Every structure is written in structure tokens, then in C-alpha cells.
Structure 1
Amino acid sequence: MEEASGPAAPAVPEPIRFSPKKDGLPKTFTYTLEKRVSGIVVDGRDEAAMPSPRCGSMPPLVDPEDFGAPPGQLIPINRSTPPSPADVYRCAGCVKAECQGPTGCTDFQWRDQSGGYLREILTSRVYSVARETPLERAPGISDAIGCNLYLKREDMQPVHSFKIRGAFNRMARLTPEQLKRGVICSSAGNHAQGVAMSAAHLGCSAVICMPTNSPEIKYQAVERLGGTVELVGESFYETAAHAVARGIAEGRTFINAYDDPYCIAGQGTAGAEILRQGDIDKMDYIFVAVGGGGLIAGIAAVVKALKPSIKIIGVEPTGANSMTQSLVRGERVTLSKVDAFADGVAIKLVGAEAFRLCRELLDGMLLEVFNETRSILEPAGAVAVAGALAFASRYRLRGKTLVAVTSGANMNFDRLRIVSELANVGSAETMLATALPDEPGSLLRLMDILSGNSGPLNITEFKYRYNMHSDGLARMLFSVGEAPGSKESRALMARAQAAGIRVQDVSDVELAQTHLRHMIAGLGGNVTYPERVGMLRKLLTPLSPRWTISLVHFRKTGNRSSTLMLGVQLKPEEMAEFLEATESLSGEFVFEPLLGRAKQVFDLFLEK
């Protein structure tokens, strides 16, 4: 594979793994395709060879672990398998005889017409409640990856999500009689708020069915917008089935979150804004997180109609890869389970109409790995950003223009820098392990050695525990903001080796990533500090080597300020001197000893 504007990539890509467990196929089936997308080639067999077993008229049940691919690798789409009857779009709960045929719903004939979606998107009525969100360049990330990355800030919608676009456009098309009877939907999050706000604007009643385990903060937000919340069902699908049945019984219109042509058209207005706000002639890729598929289907519909050279790429978490598996097989599938870490895109079955459009219009899919140990406030909002970074890294893009739609609600965008570092794209964080002589000043000495003459280290994680062994060495686990195996990380390790310190790169050890980081800690006090490069060293300088540091437990979060746990060995008579030392840091650091119940909890795990 080779990107025209960058250095050559490896000639043979890592294979995409396809290991069906329920289809009677071989235990391991390697699936790769011959496909060229803007100079990028994925080698392998013809897509017609892709098996697509049928399970009657219902989407087959699959495990998300049935399919995998390396982060950032483009997964082509199977367009050769004939459409399945289970993938024909019909309105939820529709019983019209004319809609039960092979062409599906007859109420939306425009969706199959040339320019149908383009017309509906450009004439959408979303701006009665939605706003045109900005397209912002992310300068730090852009400089780091050598491309121009722009963020479509859908977090800035009134309900902090793109969902308001589709919900309102669908409801704005209802007749006065339908509005009088009211609407109903099933949702545990952003769609619920979009429907409630739209109903308030249109003057109709809205019943929002939510699972019984929905957090109080979510249904209270819906109630504040004027929606009537009904908690019903232990799972989303039980809730949805109840909502459809109640809607039929009461004559309410069911507002689908993603599988409705007018909803898709409403979401597509985000794509129209991207083309209008950016330089359409220099735009190369648009990355969109995929849940049910409504957002990316709408964006693809307008972009491919107006500027087909722009590549539209969907991004899903590996544990919620329903659209990816569906597009690979050529038919929709139902996941047997989903990883709810990125719950905004954790959907078991994608929409039929969304799938049809994605199969026709998308240029490929990516799978993104989010490690549950990472501190990201709203992973769903970061999926597209992480996918764009993984893709740019894997294919060594340079000078390209990328757009990522930040679709998730409540994403703290001060954390985007950390998304770029911590999303598992294999490009920005090296985890290292070492052991040091357990003596005062050893930590600062290590930092000086590792940084050399290059300035303060960009430490993203630091975990140190006072010696509990008989060898006189203290164990340490820490991460730096350099790519594993990069020139910078190799130079750092060489400096340590030259000083007689053995440092191991454990970035590729999954157990270390998942578990070891939680095993190096202990009791200490809480320190709040501003997150800037060099702050850890600044904190330790007045304390070490005067006192023995028994514990450091620190993880970069991407917030303006954060906290770390610090343990210092003090004699009672040294407390006044210690407080005087910390006074010099009081302008930037806040020290809070563990007291009360917090101390009692930590005492349970403290070795006396």
C-alpha cells in the first residue's frame, strides 16, 4: 500500500480476521479484498468470494469477536452479495399490505429516486431548533500527524448531539392530526432529548420510553425538556418493542433514532454544512462514528451527490462492530452482545435504510480499539477522531485534509489531545517499566537521564511504589508521549541504558496495559495540579531527595487540571518543614491529605 503524498507503506497489509463461530465456516477465515481507495490498496481475494450465509428472513446472529482488523486498516465493502429480504426498509410497526412487498415502505418513494436524498437534505427544516455547528481546525493534532484535521463540532448542538437534526426533521413532516396525537420513541440518551425538545417546539406531546436501568440524570434531562418518561424494559430492545406497541395503541407516531428516511435526511444537513464551511476542493476524507448508521448515511448521501471524490469512512469500536460486519457480509447482522464502553455507538442491529445507503456510498470502515482503562469522558464522541488518527498513521498520510464528526454528547473537548494520545492507534504513547535503587532522589535522577537535553518529558502516566522487596529496588511503571519504537522512544531508552538503568518497553504487553498499571500504587495524599508538561518534576523537586517518596500514582487526563496520589515518608517532627516546602508550590498545587472515610478505605489496602 502506498499513499501518493507520503512514504511507501508495507506492501502486504496485516490480514483482516474473520472467524465466524455460528455459520459452519472454518474456525479462522482470512478476509482481504482487492480494493483501491485514493491510492490505498488492500490486497486479497475477490469480494465475490465472501460467504454470506442466510438465516431465513431475519438478520443472522453474530458475535462482535467474529471479526477483527488492525487499528486504522481500511475495511472494504461487499457490494456483490444480493440484498437480503431482512434488509428492506419498512416503518416501525407498519402493517400496510402495500409496504410488505420486496420494495418495502411505499410512503417514501423519493428515497429511491435520483437526487431524492439531496433534495430532502437541502430543504430540511432542522434549523428551527438545531444550529449550524462550526468546523474547527485542531491545530495541535494537525501538527502532530502532518495533516489538517478539522472537527465538526456537533457537541455544540442544543442537546449536545447531532440527534436533534434527525428528530426535528422527522417530526416537522408530521401532519397537524399526527402532531395532535403525539409522538413516542425509545432512547436512553441523545435521541430522547432531541425528540423532547422538538415536541416542545412543535407543540405536541412526547412519550420517551427508556430502559429501567437508565441513569436518573438522563431521564431528568428529558423531563426538563417537557418529555413524559416511561421507564420500561430491562434492555433497549424490550423498551423499543414496548414503545412501538404503545405508539400503535395510542395512535402516536414512532420516531426512529436512525432508521427513518427523514431522520437520515436531517442528519445529512451536517454533511452539507461541512462542504459549505470547508474548502471542498481540498477535502480528502470525512470520518464518522457509526451507531445505527443514520448520521453517516445522511452525510454520505449529500457528500457523494455534490463531491464524490471525498472519501467517507465509518468508524466503529471493535466490541460494537455491527455495521462493519454487515458491510463485510453484504447483509445486516445482529450482534449477540455489545461493548457499551462507547455507549453512544453500541448498537446491535443497524438500520435497514441506513445500511442500504452505507453499502452503496461508503468507501470503507475502520475498527477502533478503546481500552477501558483509558480516562475518556465520552468515548462515543471521540470514535471518529481516533479513527482518523489511526488511519492517518497507518497509511502515513501527509498534507491531506481530514474531517472528523465529533458526534457524541457531553464530550469534554479539552480531552481531544488525550484522545489522540490514548486511543489505541499505536502512535503516541510508550509504556515503560523499570526498577530503581530505592533511595532519595532516584526519581528526579531518572527524569533527568531520560529527558537528556530535549527538555521536560511528556509523561502521560507515572506509577511508583516504595520498595516492598528485599533487593533494594523500587518498581516503576510510566508512559511517555512518544510512539512505541519511534526514534524518540529509542533514544530515551538508550540514555537510560547508558546510565546503567534497564528500561523495558511494555507497550505491546496487553496484560500490562490492562492490569499491571493498577497494581503499582498505595496510600498517599491527593494533589491537584495544572496539566502541563514538566509539572510532575516541578512537584517533586522541593520534596526529593529531602524525603523518601513512597508513592506516585498519576495519569494524564486531558483536563485543564488533574489530580495525583502522592506518598511521602515523614517523621512527626518533620511536618512543619514539609508544609514549608509545599508552600512554595501553593500557587499551582493544592495538597489534600487523605482524611475520614477516604483514609479508612485506603487503609484497607495499605501494608502496615
Structure 2
Amino acid sequence: MQNYLKRILTARVYDVAIESPLEYASSLSARTGNKILFKREDMQPVFSFKLRGAYNKMAQLSPEQLKRGVITASAGNHAQGVALSANKMGCKAIIVMPTTTPQVKIDAVKHFGQRAVEIVLHGSSYSDAYTHSLALEKQHGLTFVHPFDDPDVIAGQGTIGMEILRQHQAPIHAIFCAIGGGGLISGVAAYVKQVRPDIKVIGVQTSDSDAMARSLKSRKRVTLNDVGLFSDGTAVKLAGEETFRVCKHYVDEVILVDTDAVCAAIKDVFQDTRSILEPAGALAIAGAKLYAKREKLKGETLVTVCSGANMNFDRLRFVAERAEIGEKREAILAVTIPETPGSFRQFCALLGNRNITEFNYRYADPKAAQVFVGVQVKDPSETARLVATLEKHKLSTLDLTDNEMAKLHLRHLVGGRAPEAKDEIMFRFEFPERPGALMNFLNSMNHTWNISLFHYRNHGADYGRVLVGMQVPQKDKKALKTFLDTLGYPYWDESNNPAYKLFLG
């Protein structure tokens, strides 16, 4: 283990990597009552720490090995690190990637590798690509650059720990690192524990990709049958042999977090830095928040390694939807109310001045209405109080905040046809995004008209897009026109929209 201290101190990473800043997260620190610092590895040239280990490994190779070339298997940040390193050294590199790799990542490897890199697409998984890369290694006499299970790669990542202690010489309670195969935390822990053994080094994994956590608990390496892919940068079925040995010796504990907590952490970093991390890049922040809450910490310094920012743009909508739930600041409820005029207004009044994030309702039964609603809350205790209030007023309520099916699918599927909704008309409105806009709508509407459909989702704009179905008799058409004109909200009549007729009418 002493050998790692020398390896890290002499690691060659700064030909390509920067000494990333250690930044104070003012908003998150204020919210947690602790000093939270972000180690900004997302600011590296390849937007990830992986460049350090890849380059250091290749820098240790002999001229003959470099001339023959290197090979690796990766679908993500390590591939980009090897590509840039190969281009810098003028060394040929073959990078084997699964055929399922998104084009954006293939293009990034081509960009960083330029003419030095050959990309081989093989198999449908990382395991397929890895097996094929080993065959090519033997066939062409290449040197394999492992993503994490190599002492030189570990030493390269260990320079992050060296920088942290140099940049912040005051007391540190703990340093948090994401764990996939274990290269990052092994390097950081190997340095920190030999220089400042009083500092805790804590790993963070997602609960569906926890190979290292299970391995440390079992005292032997455990292979997972499947891994969750949301945090694709840490989706590893088997921790490395060397990284397991180092973690067993130096890592204090491994914390597990769920997808919602990771989404909340991505939002936390954005609020403090205006940068967007990938899920694996935000794991450390999610773990630090959970640890601080669990240990009831106040006034301590916690360092979190922001390990990467190679986020797929199409994931942002999912992250935004789940961030509030991850912070326990959104309650998802299923509420049964009487299917009578005025009951909808009474229900909204019971919600009070809370910000409604989502509202889904469709007429289905002449006696009872099922409403799917999202409400902003301060914490889980407020959710419990709200449920109790609704139940007290004879409105049966089910808390779906932790129901994965409801969060992923049900919220988008509430609706359907309502053949019994006589005289139904359909309008699309733009509500002002402010408290009281909905109650103003309900109070202005004729109390004898029944709402047969209501759909709203907060999209962060200054107005809310709302679809409303109302049962308005023919004799009330003039009153309807007066209502719409005096309401003052922009609206569109969608009663003849073919999509409405096909799916909702």
C-alpha cells in the first residue's frame, strides 16, 4: 500500500489534465448546515476524471509498447480519456465499444482521438466489448488500458486526493467519491489515508449497481446479475480485484442512494454552479447529503468529487421531473373525491397555498372521481399532515410518492374516454403560474358545470398549460362565452381536435 503514495506523487497527468478547482457550494451548504465543497472533475478536457488514470497508465509504457499501440473497452468517459491520451502521445489506440453505444459518445471519441484512434463496434454490452478487446489485444500485441483495475490507473485518479488536501488544508470530515469499478475511490483513499488518516473516505453507489458495497460486506468480490443503467458511468457488475483490495483496506463505508436522490443532486449542483453533471458525476453529492442527514452533522466540511458531466441531453426531462421527489419536496397523491359539482373546488381549497406541480383527472364514474395530484411540500412530515387533512374531510388519499410505477408511468396515462360525460367541451388554457390561479378559475366558473377532465404539469415557465373538460349544457353557451372572456386567461377550444375525439371523447 505504501507504494501507492509514491505512484501518486510521481503520476504523470498534467500533460493533459488540469488541477480542477475545489469550489464552495453556497446554496447546498446553507441548506445542509455544513460546508460542502465540489471537486470539479467535470471541468477536465473530456468532462471527466477518467483522463487522469488513462494518461498515467499510458505514460508508464515503454517506447516499444507505445509503438505497438493500446486497446481498451469502454462505452463512456474512459474511452474519451484513452482517445485524447493516444492523440497527445501519437500512439495508436483501438477502442472497442458496444454496438448499442449512443452516437454522441462515438463522435466524442472520434473528436478526442482524431487520427490516432480506431473504433470497433462489437456486441450488445460492455462485457461483449471487453471480451472482444482481450482477443484483439493478443492478436495484435497491444497493451490493454483497463478502466479501473490497474495500479497506474488508480494512481492517476489518486492525484485528485492529492489536490484536495493541497487546496483545503483545514479540517475535512469526509471525502465522497462515486464507485463503479472502484478506480477513483481507490486512488483518493490510498493517498488521503496515508497523509490524513483522520479524514473519512466514503464511497457512493446506486442501490441497483452496488457491486463494491456487496463485496465489502461479504469480504469477497460479488458479481451482480444485472445493473441499473441510469447512472451508466458506475454500472459495473464486478468490482476490480485490485480496487477491492484497496477499498477493503482504506474505505470507511459505502452509501447507497436511489435514482430520485441522484436527480436531486444534479439539481443541487446546477443551482450552485449552473453546470449539469451526469448521474454518475452527481453520486458523491447525493451520498454526502444522505450521510449528513443520517449523522445529524452541523458545521462540518464535506468534499464531494463531481466526477463527470457527459450527460445525454434527452435525460434532462426525466431528471427535472424526479429532482423534487428526490428532495422529498414533492408529494404524489391519489385522492378520491365525490363526483359532484363543487367537490373539485373544495379539494383544491384543502390543498391551500401549496404549489401544485401536476394535476390529472378524467371523469370515469358518476359517484366518485379519482384525482392524481403532485404538490410541493417542505418535507415528508408535511406530506403526512396533508394526507391527514384530506382524510379528515372524508377524501380517501393514497400517498404514491415512493411508488415507482406511479412516478414513471401512471402520471402520463391518467385519462381515457368518458362516454357518460354528456355535453362535454374541451378547452386548453394558459394559467398564470402563480398561487391562486386555479382557485380563480374555479370560483369564476358556473358552479353547476361539472369538470370532467383536468390535466396540468408544471414545466417551469411563467404560465401553466392546462387542459380542461367541462360539461356545459347547450342553454349555457352564452354564459360560457362570458366566463371565458372575463376570466382573462388565453384559451383555445379543442372540442373538435381529432386527438381529443380519438383518445378522450
Q: Which residue of 2 aligns with 1:252?
A: 142
Equivalent in 389, 393, 398 of residue 289 of structure 2: 389
What is the CA distance between 1:476 and its match in structure 2?
Answer: 2.9
1:264 aligns with 2:154: yes
Q: Which residue of 1 aligns with 2:504?
A: 607
User: Unaligned 5+ residue runs, structure 1?
Assistant: 1-111, 586-590
Equivalent in 354, 365, 386 of residue 457 of structure 1: 354
Preserved CA contact (<8 Å) 2:325 2:331: no
User: Relative to 1, partners in 2 of residues 1:268 and 1:569: Cα closer, same or farther, differing over 3 Å?
Assistant: same
Which digits, 9 at most, give the CA deviation of each residue in 1:355-383, with x for residues without a partner? 11100000011222226997978322222
Give the residue type in structure 2 aligned to 1:143. A
Q: Secondary structure, in 3 states, of the residue corresponding to 1:340?
A: coil
Q: Which TM-score applies when normalising by structure 2? A: 0.79
Give the residue type in structure 2 aligned to 1:386. A
Aligned length: 469
Which digits, 9 at most, give the CA deviation of each residue in 1:152-181, with x for residues without a partner? 222222211111111111112223332222
Q: 2 CA distance for matches of 1:473 and 1:160?
A: 49
Give the residue type in structure 2 aligned to 1:607. L
Q: 2 CA distance for matches of 1:151 and 1:367?
A: 19
1:435 aligns with 2:336: yes
1:174 aligns with 2:61: yes
Equivalent in 2, 13, 16 of residue 126 of structure 1: 13
Q: Which residue of 2 aligns with 1:273?
A: 163
- Counting only pairs closer than 5 Å after superposition, residues 81-480 of structure 1 correspond to structure 2 as 112=1, 114=2, 116-225=3-112, 226=114, 227-281=117-171, 283-370=172-259, 378-411=278-311, 421-423=324-326, 428-436=329-337, 446=347, 449-451=350-352, 456-457=353-354, 459=356, 461-471=357-367, 473-480=369-376
Give the residue type in structure 1 aligned to 2:200. K
Give the residue type in structure 2 aligned to 1:342. S
User: Relative to 1, partners in 2 of residues 1:146 and 1:502: Cα closer, same or farther, differing over 3 Å?
Assistant: farther
Q: Secondary structure, in 3 states, of the residue corresponding to 1:320?
A: coil
Q: 1 CA distance for matches of 2:164 and 2:129?
A: 34
Equivalent in 414, 418, 432 of residue 520 of structure 1: 414
Q: 2 CA distance for matches of 1:172 and 1:232?
A: 27
Give the residue type in structure 2 aligned to 1:152. K
Preserved CA contact (<8 Å) 1:435 1:476: no
Q: 2 CA distance for matches of 1:272 and 1:128?
A: 17
Q: 1 CA distance for matches of 2:323 and 2:170?
A: 25
Of 150-159 and 403-412, the range deviating more from structure 2? 403-412
Q: 2 CA distance for matches of 1:528 and 1:201?
A: 54
Q: Which residue of 2 aligns with 1:551?
A: 454
Percent identity for Structure 1 against Structure 2? 39
Which digits, 9 at most, give the CA deviation of each residue in 1:182-234, with x for residues without a partner? 22111001111111111111122221110112111211111122232110123
Q: 1 CA distance for matches of 2:99 and 2:299?
A: 49
- Counting only pairs closer than 5 Å after superposition, residues 1-16 of structure 1 correspond to structure 2 as none
Of 501-510 and 518-527, the range deviating more from structure 2? 518-527
Q: 1 CA distance for matches of 2:66 and 2:91?
A: 5
Give the residue type in structure 2 aligned to 1:188. A
Q: Secondary structure, in 3 states, of the residue corresponding to 1:230?
A: strand
Preserved CA contact (<8 Å) 2:25 2:36: yes
Q: 2 CA distance for matches of 1:389 and 1:262?
A: 31
Preserved CA contact (<8 Å) 1:290 1:316: yes
Of 366-375 and 122-131, the range deviating more from structure 2? 366-375
Q: 1 CA distance for matches of 2:124 and 2:24?
A: 42
Q: Which TM-score applies when normalising by structure 1? A: 0.67
Which digits, 9 at most, give the CA deviation of each residue in 1:133-162, with x for residues without a partner? 222333333333332222222222221111
Give the residue type in structure 2 aligned to 1:310. I
Q: 2 CA distance for matches of 1:539 and 1:206?
A: 60
What is the CA distance between 1:482 and its match in structure 2?
Answer: 3.0
Preserved CA contact (<8 Å) 1:521 1:551: no
Q: Which residue of 1 aligns with 2:423?
A: none
Q: 2 CA distance for matches of 1:462 and 1:351?
A: 44
Structure with more helix by fraction? 2
Q: 2 CA distance for matches of 1:169 and 1:352?
A: 19
Preserved CA contact (<8 Å) 1:292 1:354: yes
User: Relative to 1, partners in 2 of residues 1:505 and 1:252: Cα closer, same or farther, differing over 3 Å?
Assistant: same
Q: 2 CA distance for matches of 1:383 and 1:592?
A: 46
Q: 2 CA distance for matches of 1:369 and 1:389?
A: 12
User: Relative to 1, partners in 2 of residues 1:216 and 1:603: Cα closer, same or farther, differing over 3 Å?
Assistant: farther
User: Relative to 1, partners in 2 of residues 1:251 and 1:145: Cα closer, same or farther, differing over 3 Å?
Assistant: same
RMSD (Å) for aligned C-alpha atoms: 4.0
User: Relative to 1, partners in 2 of residues 1:405 and 1:501: Cα closer, same or farther, differing over 3 Å?
Assistant: same
1:535 aligns with 2:429: no
Preserved CA contact (<8 Å) 1:141 1:420: no
Preserved CA contact (<8 Å) 2:429 2:490: no
Preserved CA contact (<8 Å) 1:507 1:513: yes
Q: 1 CA distance for matches of 2:427 and 2:18?
A: 45
